Amino acid sequence: MVSNSMDYLTIALPKGKLFGLSADMFAKIGYTAEDLSEKSRKLIISNDDKKIRFIISKTADVPTYVEYGAADIGVIGKDVLLESGKDVYELLDLGFGRCHLMMAVHKNQKRGKLMDYNHTRVATKFPHIAEGFFNSKGMQMEYIKLNGSIELGPIVGLSESIVDIVETGTTLRENNLEEIAYIMDATARLICNRVSFKLKFDRIHQMTEDLRKLLALAEV
Ligand code: PRP
pLDDT at 220: 64
Distance CA 208, CA 7 (A): 18
pLDDT at 74 over 80: yes
- d(CA 165, ligand 1 centre) in Å: 7
Task: Domain 9-97+187-219: give its CATH superfamily.
Answer: Periplasmic binding protein-like II (3.40.190.10)
Delimit the domains of the chain by residue range. 9-97+187-219, 99-185
pLDDT at 164: 98
Q: Find the length of the chain.
A: 220
pLDDT tens, 81-119? 999 999 999 999 999 999 999 999 999 999 999 999 999
pLDDT at 179: 98
Task: Return the best residue to mutate from 164, 173, 179, 185 for the ligand 1 pocket (most ligand atoms within 8 A of CB).
Answer: 164
Q: Cα dist. 83→96, 131, 186, 212 in Å?
A: 19, 10, 12, 25
pLDDT at 3 over 80: no
SS (H, E, C) 128-142: HHHHHHHHHCCCCCE
pLDDT at 219 over 80: no
CATH topology classification for 99-185: D-Maltodextrin-Binding Protein; domain 2 (3.40.190)
Write out residues with Cβ below 6 Å of ligand 1.
Answer: 16, 148-151, 164-171
pLDDT band at 193 (very low <50, low <70, confident <90, very high): very high
